[in-house]
């Protein structure tokens, strides 16, 4: 299996990362996860655009042109013979003597991309999963896809410790997002999700779902909703690159939509499947 390291195809054991790489020491960097379906990248343009946006927000430059990066990633997928899986890519500010402020002299950023087999979570998507409510203690720039994930990890661990699939985070009464997903509720046939502000990551899957709703006459409200509204919703689901459209059928000890995936959630899953199938035929 090959790995892209600063633009070159390498074996994993040929790569070294310095102990003073700022990604390693500070989480000073950004990342993306891109889904591969049937050997093709899914929504690659959207993910790569978000990578450039995240880089700009932390005053970093991506050391490749957009099309160059995209073709290198395509090459990596081919080289590794990946059919169903993910590409993980990350970019750090690079290596310099440990100090908090950015390096005074320009340094080369460190870029890594590798692939992994990853099956679609079909069984979970059919049956639904459980979630745990967790206070959102993260910082105020959740719109950046930053390597700094401690807040997200602590939330996910709280859920995992009680057998939950995801942590649903809330700031006070307001539901924000999952630890690695966006959160949606359905009430009386309308969809609600937190607006794309600094308090959430604007998921690519989230955007696909909003497009699907717009194309199919499902009313979308990009509006804050409360923990109470979540618990009393007709349907709840989360969405992410790896979880797709994932029904939530239990939150803490409370059953949602009688413990089964809701009808509108299932409809959205079908539409999302169509997008995947079309992508696979490219
Ligand atoms: N929110 C957070 C905090 C995430 O980490 C992720 C993805 O990992 C998402 C939302 C969903 O984003 P996407 O649909 O682009 O995978």
Tokens, residue 174: 């307001």
Nearest protein Cα to ligand 1, atom 5: 180
242-265 residue pLDDT tens: 999 999 999 999 999 999 999 999
Domain shared by 88 and 193, yes or no: no
Q: Point out the domain boundary residue: 117, 141, 163.
A: 117
Ligand 1 centre to CA of 17 (Å) is 26
CA–CA separation, 94 and 111 (whole Å): 9
Among the listed residues 37, 30, 98, the one whose alpha carbon sits nearest the alpha carbon of residue 61: 30
Q: DSSP string covering 56-78, please?
A: HHTT---SS-HHHHHHHHHHHHH
Predicted confidence (pLDDT) at residue 9 exceeds the cutoff of 90:
yes
Whether residue 236 contacts residue 259, with contact meaning beta carbons closer than 8 Å, is answered with no
- How many domains does one find in the chain? 2
pLDDT of residue 280: 72
Atom of ligand 1 nearest to the CA of 241: 16
The CATH number covering residue 74 comes to 3.30.470.10
Q: Indicate if 145 belongs to the active site.
A: yes
Atom of ligand 1 nearest to the CA of 182: 10
Q: Indicate the pLDDT class of residue 281, thresholds 50, 70 and 90.
A: confident
Phi-psi region of 258 (alpha: psi -120 to 50; beta: other; left: phi over 0): left
Of 2, 132, 145, 156, which is the active-site residue? 145
Domain shared by 10 and 97, yes or no: yes
37-89 residue pLDDT tens: 999 999 999 999 999 999 999 999 999 999 999 999 999 999 999 999 999 99
152 lines ligand 1 (CB under 6 A): yes
Among the listed residues 147, 132, 121, 170, the one whose alpha carbon sits nearest the alpha carbon of residue 60: 147
pLDDT of residue 282: 60
222: which strand partners? Answer: 193
pLDDT of residue 51: 98
Ligand 1 centre to CA of 39 (Å) is 22
Nearest protein Cα to ligand 1, atom 3: 180
125-165 residue pLDDT tens: 999 999 999 999 999 999 999 999 999 999 999 999 999 99
Among the listed residues 99, 88, 246, the one whose alpha carbon sits nearest the alpha carbon of residue 165: 246
Whether residue 238 contacts residue 178, with contact meaning beta carbons closer than 8 Å, is answered with yes
The domain containing residue 87 runs over which residues? 2-117
Q: Point out the domain boundary residue: 100, 117, 134.
A: 117
**What is the value of ipTM here, to two decimals?**
0.99
Q: What is the mean pLDDT of residues 11-33?
A: 98
Predicted confidence (pLDDT) at residue 269 exceeds the cutoff of 80:
yes
Tokens, residue 175: 């539901």
Buried-state track 223-235, b at ≥16 Cβ within 10 A, e below 16: ebbeeeebeebbb
Ligand 1 centre to CA of 11 (Å) is 28
54 lines ligand 1 (CB under 6 A): no
Ligand 1 centre to CA of 60 (Å) is 21
Number of C-beta neighbours around residue 248 at 10 A: 29
Atom of ligand 1 nearest to the CA of 47: 15
Whether residue 244 contacts residue 182, with contact meaning beta carbons closer than 8 Å, is answered with no
Domain shared by 82 and 195, yes or no: no
DSSP helix/strand/coil, 215: helix
DSSP helix/strand/coil, 33: strand
243 lines ligand 1 (CB under 6 A): no
Nearest protein Cα to ligand 1, atom 8: 180
Q: Of residues 176 and 106, which shows the higher confidence score?
A: 176
193 lines ligand 1 (CB under 6 A): no
187-207 residue pLDDT tens: 999 999 999 999 999 999 999
Domain shared by 109 and 224, yes or no: no
Domain shared by 143 and 241, yes or no: yes
Q: What mean pLDDT value characterizes the chain?
A: 97
Pairing of strands 220-222, 190-193: parallel
Predicted confidence (pLDDT) at residue 241 exceeds the cutoff of 80:
yes
Q: Point out the domain boundary residue: 78, 102, 117.
A: 117
Q: What is the mean pLDDT of residues 108-129?
A: 98
Residue among 42, 155, 203 to mutate when testing ligand 1 (max atoms within 8 A of CB)? 203
Ligand 1 centre to CA of 72 (Å) is 23
CA–CA separation, 90 and 33 (whole Å): 9
CA–CA separation, 203 and 57 (whole Å): 17
């Amino acid at each position: 299996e090959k790995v892209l390291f600063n633009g070159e195809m390498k074996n994993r054991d040929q790569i070294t990362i310095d102990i003073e790489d700022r990604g390693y020491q500070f989480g000073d960097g950004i990342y993306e996860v891109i889904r591969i379906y049937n050997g093709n990248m899914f929504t690659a343009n959207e993910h790569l655009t978000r990578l450039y946006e995240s880089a700009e927000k932390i005053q970093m430059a991506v050391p490749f042109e957009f099309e160059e990066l995209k073709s290198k990633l395509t090459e990596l997928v081919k080289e590794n013979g990946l059919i169903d899986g993910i590409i993980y890519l990350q970019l750090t500010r690079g290596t310099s003597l440990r100090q908090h402020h950015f390096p005074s002299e320009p340094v080369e950023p460190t870029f890594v991309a590798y692939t992994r087999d990853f099956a679609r979570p079909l069984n979970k998507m059919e049956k639904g999963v459980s979630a745990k409510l967790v206070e959102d203690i993260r910082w105020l720039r959740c719109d950046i896809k930053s390597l700094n994930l401690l807040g997200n990890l602590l939330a996910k661990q709280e859920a995992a410790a009680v057998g939950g699939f995801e942590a649903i985070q809330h700031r006070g009464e307001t539901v924000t997002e999952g630890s690695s997903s966006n959160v949606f509720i359905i009430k009386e046939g309308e969809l609600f999700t937190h607006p794309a502000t600094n308090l959430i990551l604007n998921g690519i899957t989230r955007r696909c779902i909003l497009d699907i709703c717009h194309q199919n006459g499902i009313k979308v409200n990009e509006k804050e909703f409360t923990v109470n509204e979540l618990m009393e919703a007709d349907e709840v689901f989360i969405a992410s690159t790896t979880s797709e459209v994932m029904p939530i059928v239990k939150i803490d000890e409370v059953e949602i939509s009688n413990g089964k995936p809701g009808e509108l959630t299932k409809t959205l899953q079908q539409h999302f499947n169509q997008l995947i199938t079309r992508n696979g035929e490219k």
